[in-house]
Amino acid sequence: DQQVKQNSPSLSVQEGRISILNCDYTNSMFDYFLWYKKYPAEGPTFLISISSIKDKNEDGRFTVFLNKSAKHLSLHIVPSQPGDSAVYFCAASDNDYKLSFGAGTTVTVRA
Amino acid sequence: NAGVTQTPKFRILKIGQSMTLQCAQDMNHNYMYWYRQDPGMGLKLIYYSVGAGITDKGEVPNGYNVSRSTTEDFPLRLELAAPSQTSVYFCASSYSRHSGNTIYFGEGSWLTVV
């Protein structure tokens, strides 16, 4: 049973515009959420995270928003750049060291 | 720094064969993990280890075995390979628990069972 869901398998955005990636979860015990970025033929790399006690975390061009009541989080990339073209995974943990991953969203940034 | 190193990168197995995916980390991390990623799916945890001599099952352990005799190494053994084990396998490590931001992944091992 998929506890973390990314319902949009792909997203295409023009360079300079905002990319918004969405993620929903079902396990109310999750208390830490992360976004990973993955290029082809490479392992995932950490991008940004947020604790359940916060509703927003910002790091440069990347901002993650958490809506606990809706069990929803989103990743905003502003402005989008060609190097942002990759697969983005949403992940969550429940006070443990194991992560549950979504299926990923492939972002393509058009010049 | 080598980080997390996986070998082999690519392998084709025949049904029923066995093989071991090697994983080594040089960061002195206590926690190590094996994930698999199927097309269109997220990463699923196969096995994990919280230290040398300690291993435990993840979400999808059937058909696999692991061992952790040293802090550095965490090999994944496939016994009697099946087509359902065709996947990309990622080894990862972290220093401590609840540190998702410091989980380091290897580059992946592409396995095809025919």
Which pLDDT tens digit goes with each residue over A16-26? 999 999 999 99
CB distance from A104 to chain B under 8 Å? Answer: yes
pLDDT at A94 exceeding the cut of 90: no
CB distance from B100 to chain A under 8 Å? Answer: yes
Instruction: Specify which residues A38 forms β-bridges with.
Output: A87
The distance in angstroms from the start CA to the end CA of chain A is: 38
The separation between CA B2 and the C-alpha centre of its own chain, rounded to angstroms, equals 17
- Closest residue of chain B to A43, computed from CA coordinates: B107
- How many percent of chain B have pLDDT more than 90? 82
pLDDT at B102 exceeding the cut of 80: no
- Give counts: helices (H), strands (E), chain B: 0, 11
Instruction: Specify which residues A25 forms β-bridges with.
Output: A4
Chain B: closest CA distance from residue A101 (Å) = 5
Nearest CB among B44, B101, B107 relative to A41 is that of B107
Instruction: Specify which residues B76 forms β-bridges with.
Output: B21, B66
Question: Long-range contacts for B22-27 (Cβ within 8 Å, ≥24 apart)?
Answer: B22/B73, B22/B75, B23/B73, B23/B74, B23/B75, B23/B76, B23/B91, B23/B106, B24/B72, B24/B73, B24/B74, B25/B72, B25/B74, B25/B91, B25/B93, B25/B104, B26/B1, B26/B2, B26/B72, B27/B1, B27/B3, B27/B93, B27/B95, B27/B104
State the Cα–Cα distance between residues B108 and A5, nearest whole angstrom: 23
Query: Parallel, antiparallel, or unpaired for β A45-51 and A56-59?
Result: unpaired
- Closest residue of chain A to B48, computed from CA coordinates: A98
Contacts of B88 in chain A (CB under 8 A): none
Answer yes or no: do A99 and B108 touch at CB < 8 A: no
Which pLDDT tens digit goes with each residue over A33-91? 999 999 988 999 999 999 999 999 999 999 999 999 999 999 999 999 999 999 999 99
CB distance from B43 to chain A under 8 Å? Answer: yes
CB distance from A89 to chain B under 8 Å? Answer: yes
Count the helix, strand and coil residues of chain A and give each as a percent rounded to the nearest 5.
Answer: 5, 55, 45
Nearest CB among B50, B97, B105 relative to A43 is that of B105
Average pLDDT over residues B78-84: 94
Is the distance from CB of A92 to CB of A27 less than 8 angstroms? Answer: yes
Tell me the two tokens of residue B62.
């059937």
Nearest CB among B58, B105, B107 relative to A98 is that of B58
Chain A with chain B: Cβ pairs closer than 8 A: 65
Is the distance from CB of B66 to CB of B34 less than 8 angstroms? Answer: yes
